[in-house]
Amino acid sequence: MNDIEHALEWTRQPVPDVFHELNPSQQKKIVAYIENLVSSKTDGFEELYHAIGMIVKYIPHFVVIPLMVDHIKPQIAAGVCRKMSVEQAASYANDLPLEYFSEVSRHLDNQLMSDILSKMKKHRAEKFIHYELQHHLLHMLDIAGHLNDHMLNVTARLVTLPEHDDDLVNHPHKEIIERLRGMQ
């Protein structure tokens, strides 16, 4: 990964090929422009997330959950989740449809996701882990690096890992895969 790709990694978007044709000074100016543009267009979002988090405390889950799923994009729901306590976020996570929560989880920090999973109902946390292992294995391995021993054991029980060490030589999740193998 070169400097511009590293600088724009947070966007989770591929860097346009034309950016690689620019000299390093021009690339830095483009990155600064993008960061300033995003900052100005998202100014106030954190306060909005906090306000929504405060409001939903007083609305029953059976009202909030359908509204959230139908009208709030997962990225926004993740922003609200970051402003809640782990216990409150886990409470909502227990009631969200699995696919929607999976989308939300991809916008959350891996440590926060680990904390939420540890506070969720056992059955719901296991269903989430199983779903992620089937549909977003690398994402679940990223989260697994932060899980407590109990949740890591659940993950080890549900995951199918590569059988040959040759498959892991340069794998970015080599350490966590070896830990999971040791638990199987």
Assigned domain for 81 exists: no
Per the structure, the count of domains in the chain is 2
Tokens of 179: 């830990």
Assigned domain for 63 exists: no
Assigned domain for 183 exists: yes
Assigned domain for 174 exists: yes
Assigned domain for 128 exists: yes
Assigned domain for 162 exists: yes
For residue 166, pLDDT over 90 is answered with no
Range of the domain at 130: 120-184
**What tens digit of pLDDT does each residue of 125-154 get?**
999 999 999 999 999 999 999 999 999 999
Task: Report the candidate in 153, 149, 129, 150 with the shortest Cα–Cα distance to residue 141.
Answer: 129
Average pLDDT, integer, range 57-83 = 93
For residue 173, pLDDT over 70 is answered with yes
Assigned domain for 86 exists: no
**What tens digit of pLDDT does each residue of 30-66 get?**
888 988 998 899 899 999 999 988 898 899 989 999 9
Neighbours of 119 (CB within 10 A): 16
